[in-house]
Amino acid sequence: MTNQSKNVCVIGSGPSGLVAARELKREGHKVVVLEQNHDIGGQWLYDPNMIKFNTKVLYVGPLNYGVPSEDLKWVVRSKEKKREEVEQVFDAVVVATGHHSKPRFPCMQGMDTWRRKQMHSHIYRSPEPFRGEIVVVVGNSYSGQEISMELVKAAKELHKIWYTVNIDTLEEDGSAIFMDGSIIIADTILYCTGYNYSFPFLDTKGMVVVDDNRVGPLYEHTLPPLLAPPLSFIGIPKKILGLPFFESQGKWIAQLLSGKKALPSCEEMMKSIEEFYHSKEVVGIPKRFTHEIGAIGFEYCDKSAKYVGLPKLQEWRKELCILSLVNSCVNLETYRDSWNDDEKLQEALQSPYFTQLGVELEDPSLQNSN
């Protein structure tokens, strides 16, 4: 069995980038992580190694595109703050740039000419600026619910709309006209309508596109059949137990690059992707939800873990996840400050997963040697 070592660039040092980097390193690859921020953690920011901070990736594209080659390499152009742009060539690139930074806006008639305040939840910080206002909140997922709970105490009136199709037109005078004919003259429309996948730096010559929030074609939400494994994406799926899943994805990519694992043929991968799309379509799931794993999240994590020889999700982990989800649904106002999973947490802390953590940290092969 081959065990090739590749020169790999991971873009992003959030949870998925960090896990990918660790798995690549464990597999014997040489890894550079480029991160535009000053520290690791992505949305959770927290502690460094093998990472070049303050380095934004501006361009990633195939080297010598069009020249037939067995071994497609990637050009990565990046810029460190106050420095010149740098161009490097890598054997592989792992895109781990997250998907909660480009706000998604709905399309509504009159949006462009409506003169009052329209904003996305991404830039919402506190209810104070909305004091005394009539606010329409569009979207009823986590951010819509939580922001509404804050706004209700400050706004003069709060109107929650589940779906944008409920609004017919936005008029220049500030009226929002609804499908049932009712009218609200609002001061602000706040869109809690989620995020779009976006890879502004990535040039795949059209081999990977984002179409109505479907990134594709991607085999198992990870690998573009025409460009894999030298190009891969980690952390694309939504509504999944992130960290264990990223770990399986990272291991899989690392093993594909070292030659320990092989991919099906391009045709087989494309067929599997088409079948997956079709399975969504027949049950009426819109394209934009392609990467929402949702209810089958545990099974999907287990399937991915099994494939790379990792254990199934521990029962305590699933139970903790369910307990916190239920708590957040049932006790929307208090779930951050009071919870009922102490017993389960103790059980988790007594499990080998935590009791053997130190053993792994003392393993010199896992220390940073960059």
Ligand X SMILES: Cc1cc2nc3c(=O)[nH]c(=O)nc-3n(C[C@H](O)[C@H](O)[C@H](O)COP(=O)(O)OP(=O)(O)OC[C@H]3O[C@@H](n4cnc5c(N)ncnc54)[C@H](O)[C@@H]3O)c2cc1C
Among 22, 160, 238, 317, indicate the residue that binds ligand X (CB under 6 A). Answer: 238
Shortest approach of ligand X to residue 109 CB, angstroms? 27
Please say which residue, 17 or 170, places its beta carbon nearer to ligand X.
17
What tokens does 8 get? 């790999």
Amino acid at 90: F
Least gap, CB of 203 to ligand X (angstroms)? 13
Interatomic CA distance for residues 142 and 27, integer angstroms: 37
Backbone angles phi, psi at 91, to 5 degrees: -70, -30
Residue 357, classified by CB atoms within 10 Å of its CB into exposed (0-12), middle (13-18) or buried (19+), is exposed
What is the rounded CA–CA span in Å between residue 77 and residue 12? 14
Quick one: which of 6, 9, 10, 14 contacts ligand X (CB under 6 A)?
A: 14
Site string for ligand X, 192-211 (x = CB under 6 A): ---------x----------
Beta bridge partners of 191: 120, 138
Q: Applying CB under 6 A, does 12 fall inside the site for ligand X?
A: yes
57 lies in the site for ligand X, by CB under 6 A: yes
How many residues bind ligand X (CB under 6 A)? The answer is 26
Is 240 a binder of ligand X (CB under 6 A)?
A: yes
Assess 232 for contact with ligand X (CB under 6 A).
no
Query: Is 318 near ligand X (CB under 6 A)?
Result: no
Q: Taking CB under 6 A as the criterion, which residues in 265-284 touch ligand X?
A: none
Helix, strand, coil percent content, the chain, rounded in steps of 5: 35, 20, 45
Are 247 and 302 spatial neighbours (Cβ–Cβ below 8 Å)? Answer: no
Using CB under 6 A as the binding rule, whether residue 137 contacts ligand X is answered as no
Using CB under 6 A, pick the residue from 6, 9, 15, 290 that binds ligand X: 15
Q: Which of 235, 251, 256, 308 binds ligand X (CB under 6 A)?
A: 235
What's the rounded Cα separation, in Å, for the pair 31 and 44?
22
Task: Provide the residue type at 167 as one letter.
Answer: I
CB 117 within 8 A of CB 73: no
CA-angle at 364, arms to 360 and 367, nearest 5°: 85
User: Closest separation between CB of residue 42 and ligand X, Å?
Assistant: 2
60 interacts with ligand X by CB under 6 A: no
With the C-alpha atoms ordered 318, 320, 325, 326, is the resulting torsion angle positive or negative? positive
Dihedral angle sign, alpha carbons of residues 103, 109, 110, 112: positive
Give the contact letters, 76-115, x = binds to ligand X (CB under 6 A), - = no. --------------------xxx-x---------------
Using CB under 6 A, pick the residue from 10, 24, 32, 34 that binds ligand X: 34
Specify the residue, 15 or 230, whose C-beta has the smaller distance to ligand X.
15
Contact range with ligand X by CB under 6 A, out of 232-240, 267-275, 283-291, 345-353: 232-240
Shortest approach of ligand X to residue 58 CB, angstroms?
7
The answer to the question of residue 242 lying near ligand X (CB under 6 A) is yes
Residue 171 to residue 112: CA distance in whole angstroms: 10
What angle do helix axes 315-330 and 342-350 make, rounded to 10 degrees? 160
Residues in contact with ligand X by CB under 6 A are 11-17, 34-37, 42-44, 56-57, 96-98, 100, 201, 235, 238-240, 242
